[in-house]
C-alpha cells in the first residue's frame, strides 16, 4: 500500500478529479493548502505589484494498493499539467503506507482501501 500525496494548482483540480474518476480511482481527500515551490505569484494591492511568499495550492491524498500506483500517478501527471512548460504545476510524493483500517467494519490492509 502506498499513500500518494499530490500538490497541484487549484485551477487543475476539476481536471484531475474528472480524470481520476475516469480511471476508476474514486477515493480521494482534497484540502486547500498554501505553500510554494520555485514559482512566484504576482498580485496587485492598490496598484503595487506584490509577490506573496505563500501561494494557494490543492493537496490530494490518495491511498492505493501497489498495483494502482502507476495508474494514479500517470493520471495526475497528465491532468494536472498545464502543458506550458512553466514552473508551478506541482509535485507528487509517494510514501509507504503501513496500515489502513475501515472504521465501520474494522477491516485492515489492502481490502480496506
Partner 1 sequence: MKKKLLTTLLFLLAATLLQGTAHAADEVVTDTGTTSWMLTSTALVLLMIPGLAMFYGGLVRTKNVLGTMMHSFGAMVIIGVLWPMVGYSLSFGPGILGGFVGWDDNYFMLQGIDETIMSTNIPEYVFAMFQGKFAIITPALIAGAFAERVNFKGYAVFIALWSLLVYSPICHWVWAADGFLFNLGAAGAIDFAGGTVVHISSGVTALVAALYLGKRRAYPNNVMSPNNLVMTLIGAGLLWVGWFGFNAGSAIASNLATARALTVTQVAAASGAFAWMIIEIFHHGKATSLGVASGILAGLVAITPAAGVVQPSGALALGALAAVICYGAIMLKSKLGYDDSLDAFGVHGVGGIVGALALVFFIRPAWMADAAAKTIDKSWTMWDQLGVQATAVGVTIGYAAVVSLVLLFLVEKTIGLRISEDEEMSGLDHSMHGEQGYGLINLN
Choices 27-35, 60-68, 70-78, 93-101; region in contact with partner 1 by CB under 8 A: 27-35
CA atoms within 13 A on the CB side of 93: 8
Q: How far is the CB of 100 from partner 1 (least distance, A)?
A: 27
CA distance between the termini of the chain:
9
Among 51, 70, 82, 91, binds partner 1 (CB under 8 A): 82
Residue 97 in contact with residue 61, Cβ under 8 Å? no
Answer yes or no whether residue 42 interacts with partner 1 by CB under 8 A.
yes
Choices 53-61, 63-71, 89-97, 105-113; region in contact with partner 1 by CB under 8 A: 53-61
C-alpha cell at 96: 509507504
Q: At 33, is the secondary structure helix, strand, or coil? A: strand
Contacting positions for partner 1 (CB under 8 A): 9-15, 18, 32-34, 42-45, 52, 54-56, 82
Amino acid at each position: 500500500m502506498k499513500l500518494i500525496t499530490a500538490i497541484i494548482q487549484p485551477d487543475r483540480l476539476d481536471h484531475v478529479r474528472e480524470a481520476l474518476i475516469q480511471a476508476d480511482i474514486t477515493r480521494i481527500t482534497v484540502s486547500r493548502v498554501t505553500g510554494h515551490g520555485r514559482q512566484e505569484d504576482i498580485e496587485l494591492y492598490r496598484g503595487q505589484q506584490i509577490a506573496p511568499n505563500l501561494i494557494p495550492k490543492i493537496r490530494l491524498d490518495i491511498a492505493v494498493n501497489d498495483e494502482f500506483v502507476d495508474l494514479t500517478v500517470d493520471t495526475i501527471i497528465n491532468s494536472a499539467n498545464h502543458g506550458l512548460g512553466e514552473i508551478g504545476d506541482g509535485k507528487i510524493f509517494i510514501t509507504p503506507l503501513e496500515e489502513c483500517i475501515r472504521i465501520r467494519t474494522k477491516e485492515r490492509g489492502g481490502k480496506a482501501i
